[in-house]
Structure 1
Amino acid sequence: MTRPTRRHLISIDDLATEDLDRIVRRGVQFAAGALEDARPLHDAVVGVLFRKTSTRTRTAFSAGALRLGARLITYGPGDLQENTGETVEDTAAVLSRMIDTLVARTAGSEAELRAYADQQRMAVVNAMSADEHPTQALTDLTTLLGRFGRIEGLRVLYIGEGNNTASALTLALSRYQGTELFLRTPPGYGVAERYLDRAAVNAKKSGARVEQRHDMDGLPQADVIYTTRWQTTGTVKPDLDWPRLFAPFQVGPAVMATSPDAVFMHDLPAHRGEEVTADVLDGPASIAFQQAENKYHSARAVLEWCMTGTQAG
């Protein structure tokens, strides 16, 4: 007899390298339209809890669950009894007896999601925490594989705040052989050392390279130039003078000219005239909106991975 196994995705580090690669390749298959008839979540129930605003991630997981045959329950930021004092652990114990997967964007750290995941009845997916945005990194890898036919050996120049997107991308790219990730982040707003340390462990095994600097001098040649909005969802910067620090890190034509054959990526939403100029975001090198569509394809791959494992029992 077999019983279903629910697999959690709280951090990129939760994935074995083969599972990371499987999800990314599956996302490319979904994007190619090869799996449109697949209904692996037939009659499953997926809960979607967002305490912060979302356009792409919420829509991607909602539409993805429905396309895979699941039924959907959505929770707003004030809907659960946690607002009246119920613990996360008690909430998880209840939800896990009623639904199969919880896709959650929380207001705080990874620890809350780990508490939701402290059971094996219900899969839990981190749809962005303050620390890390793992499903964005999976979307990005899906986009890279679809565009270049490979991830190994790609050179990615990331410019801007070392936020939860950058943290996840750092963990993900460092798994692939020969990749090079150049992080150019404003002083005081870099990728946290704990993520760089974890990436260094990955890179030692894979032969990847991760380098962080806090200036825009001597930009390296890259296959991809990537940026993200300067005001990360749900955060407030402690330094009132932060726009001055960020201004040199705008991606405009001069930056793109340093790598004439590079594509431009952005996790969106974008603020034209801040982190990126309109002529770059809307220009011929930009694949930002294909990247956004890939969030939907990648979400289907994540849901399938979380829900379709089996184990003997």
Structure 2
Amino acid sequence: MKPPVRHLISIEDLTDEDLAAIVARGVQMAAGDHGQPLDGLVAGIYFAKTSTRTRSAFSAGALRLGARLVSYGPGDLQLNTGETSEDTGRVFAGMLDVLVARTAADEAEMRAWACQDRMAVINAMSAQEHPTQALTDLTTLMRRFGRIEGLRLLYVGEGNNTATALALALTRVPGFELELRTPPGYGLPAELLDRARKQAAAYGAVITERHDMDDLPVGVDAIYTTRWQTTGSSKPDPDWREVFAPFQVRPQLWRHSPNALFLHDLPAHRGEEVAAEVLDGPASIAFEQAHNKMYSAMAVLEWSHQVTGRIC
């Protein structure tokens, strides 16, 4: 009998052991240490929103691990003709072994699909969180520094689903210092920030958030930004670009941290959230980070079929 599976809807679904193991396994996958543990399994790749890196990472990663693929785009499912999401999920679970989904909607839909133990459900981005991006970022830091504990990261930009996932992940790393500089009115959700602060206190990490670019920290290990216009989101303020303008990542930031690496979850809009000379400069590892997404995806896919999962 096929063993139950594990689901990844949020970073908070992972135990500390899970988090460490997926990151370590991603590093091993990057070194070519993988067989075909998903041989004979069928992976569904459903992206209702645009994607280059995440869709390619999970598709290529599943194939490299031996799985077969069934891919769905935004116009392919009977959801468009009135079938309920619950019924769609029940059909998926009877035919697929794993479903990687990007809806950019509330994660409740994915949690409903995960109320079974036959098909693993992996969140490739919801409105609230981008958990597999955070796992990619931790894998990237581990590959570059050989450790994550004790590193310092400056995040500049909107408190979006990528920032949320980073906050939930990095505040579980002892000694990690995460400082966020977010535009006024566009910070992390208050309830999430409160949870992250309590978590940081428990793990010996630090998280701070400010809404200006004054008195930046000195000597950080990495500077991170994301696209201002993320998939599936919109800004209520018609003058939001004026609010965001001071938070563009420019070469001047390296005066404070000359050895810092630059990360970006991509796609990037040169001249908006990041100056072209930063993205294309010697500090940038953004495209290396993008390539690591496949290795991290492979680690998540393997993990999802290793032991008993969480069943509703």
Structure 2 Cα separation of the partners of residues 66 and 218 of structure 1? 47
Q: Displacement of 1:234 after TM fit?
A: 1.4
Deviations 1:76-102 (A, max 9, x none): 112111212222111111110111000
Q: 2:251 corresponds to which letter in structure 1?
A: P
Match of 1:168 in 2: 165
Q: Aligned to 1:153, which of 150, 155, 159? A: 150
Q: Aligned to 1:94, which of 91, 96, 116? A: 91
Deviations 1:138-185 (A, max 9, x none): 000000000001111110000001100000000000000010100000
Q: Displacement of 1:310 after TM fit?
A: 5.0
Match of 2:239 in 1: 241
Q: Displacement of 1:107 after TM fit?
A: 3.3
Q: Displacement of 1:12 after TM fit?
A: 0.2
Q: Displacement of 1:288 after TM fit?
A: 0.5
* Structure 1 stretch displaced more, 80-89 or 142-151: 80-89
SS in 1 for 2:121: strand
Matched, 1:217 2:211: no
5+ unaligned residues in a row in structure 1: which ranges? none
Structure 1 Cα separation of the partners of residues 104 and 302 of structure 2? 26
- Return closer, same or farther for 1:310/1:114 CA change in 2, 3 Å cut-off: closer
Q: 1:90-239, aligned counterparts within 5 Å?
A: 90-221=87-218, 222-239=220-237
Q: Aligned to 2:287, which of 280, 286, 289? A: 289
Number of residue pairs the alignment of both structures matches: 308
Match of 2:306 in 1: 308
C-alpha contact 1:135 1:299 (8 A) present in aligned 2? yes
Q: 2:124 corresponds to which letter in structure 1?
A: A
C-alpha contact 1:6 1:307 (8 A) present in aligned 2? yes
Residue identity (%): 68
5+ unaligned residues in a row in structure 2: which ranges? none
C-alpha contact 2:104 2:231 (8 A) present in aligned 1? no
Matched, 1:8 2:7: yes
Deviations 1:8-60 (A, max 9, x none): 0000000001100000000011112233xx10000100000001000000000
SS in 1 for 2:71: strand
Q: 1:181 corresponds to which letter in structure 2?
A: L
Q: 1:234 corresponds to which letter in structure 2?
A: G
Q: Displacement of 1:308 after TM fit?
A: 2.3
Indicate the RMSD between aligned Cα atoms, in angstroms.
Answer: 1.1
Q: Displacement of 1:235 after TM fit?
A: 1.1
TM-score by length of 2: 0.97
Structure 1 Cα separation of the partners of residues 228 and 32 of structure 2? 34
* Structure 1 stretch displaced more, 189-198 or 40-49: 189-198
C-alpha contact 1:3 1:310 (8 A) present in aligned 2? no
